[in-house]
Amino acid sequence: MASGGKVVVVTGASGGVGRAVARRFAERGDRVALLARGEKGLAAAADDVRAVGGVPLVLPVDVADAEAVDAAAARTEEELGPIDVWINDAFTSVFAPVTEIGAAEFRRVTEVCYLGYVHGTKAALDRMLPRDRGAIVQVGSALAYRGIPLQAAYSAAKHAIQGFHEALRCELLHDGSGVATTMVQLPAVNTPQFDWVRSRLPRRAQPVPPIYQPEVAATAVVHAADHPRRREYWVGGSTVLTLLGDRVAPGLLDRYLARTGYDAQQTGERRRRDRPSNLWEPVDGADGRDHGAHGRFDADAARTSPQLWASRHRGALTAGAAAAAAAGAAVLARRR
């Protein structure tokens, strides 16, 4: 059994935010169990963890399989020790209007993006509750509060995670448990997902600005794991606006997104018909390649977030969030 640092489990660790999160924990000397489907991405993530002083454990798993997730948790404890932190971040999606997403596709996104979180959380609770200690972090999204066009399946899954998180948090508080859960609500992040999720859009998919680097998200997730008693953390101005915008101007975001949401999520380039899709199989599998943490939007992505600072410092949060929401609402009102 390995020794030194905390034992951390990260789902979706082969790429994007999960990859950056694993590296950030490893920089502290933690032991990191890496859960994902893609072999190439997992191997590269393990190299990242070793390179910065952490201890990796590669566990190929599809989080939609509850038994497999529980088995991965058991192996983590056998090889690394008792789990201190569990990060749920596994992801897949379909970019398309509701009328162009099949029932099986809706089910698959739900199984990974929502039920995968449930499976991970229950595997963690089964081990943490008897010890009366541990932290569970749900990596959420602005879409947990505000659905957007062309991302119905993903928006619905994030809404479901939010409800699950709130219910679980209340139960843990009722029991006076030493186990805590928190949620990190992310804005648009520069990850490879925009080139590997299933897409039926006519043009190449892109995140809705403002865009942040995955390391910003990773900093928030690690901080949340260290301070899991907070209900949630916000990262990025768009997240704050999403949370408060409809309260400032009810219904305004619906009309605004109806007009702008399609173009805002696509570049001017035509979508390649032969682009990969990770809905059913990983694009970084045995026949694929490692895609890393970053996507193709490095030139446009911010490396810092004032809103994250405000979220981590309670005194500044209320004023900062209110100011951001008011400013955002004013901008949207001018564009009506």
Query: Which one is catalytic: 117, 154, 212, 233?
Result: 154
95: DSSP letter: E
Q: Is 335 helix (H, G, I), strand (E, B) or coil?
A: coil
Calpha distance 197→175 (Å, rounded): 40
268: DSSP letter: E
Radius of gyration over alpha carbons of the chain, in Å? 19
List the one residue out of 41, 103, 21 whose CA is nearest residue 111.
Answer: 103
Q: 242 and 186 in contact (C-beta within 8 Å)?
A: no
Go through the chain and tell me how many residues it has.
336
Question: Computed from CA positions of residues 130, 132, 133, 136, in that sequence, does the dihedral angle turn out positive or negative?
Answer: positive
Calpha distance 284→289 (Å, rounded): 5
List Cβ neighbours of 33 (8 Å cut-off, separation of 6 or more): 7, 8, 9, 10, 56, 57, 59, 72, 76, 80, 83
Calpha distance 208→50 (Å, rounded): 34
Calpha distance 36→13 (Å, rounded): 6
φ, ψ at 96 (rounded to 5°):
-175, 160
List the one residue out of 265, 285, 278 whose CA is nearest residue 108.
Answer: 278
Q: 48 and 72 in contact (C-beta within 8 Å)?
A: no
212 given a catalytic annotation = no
End-to-end Cα distance, the chain: 60
Calpha distance 163→117 (Å, rounded): 12
Which sequence positions are flagged as catalytic?
154
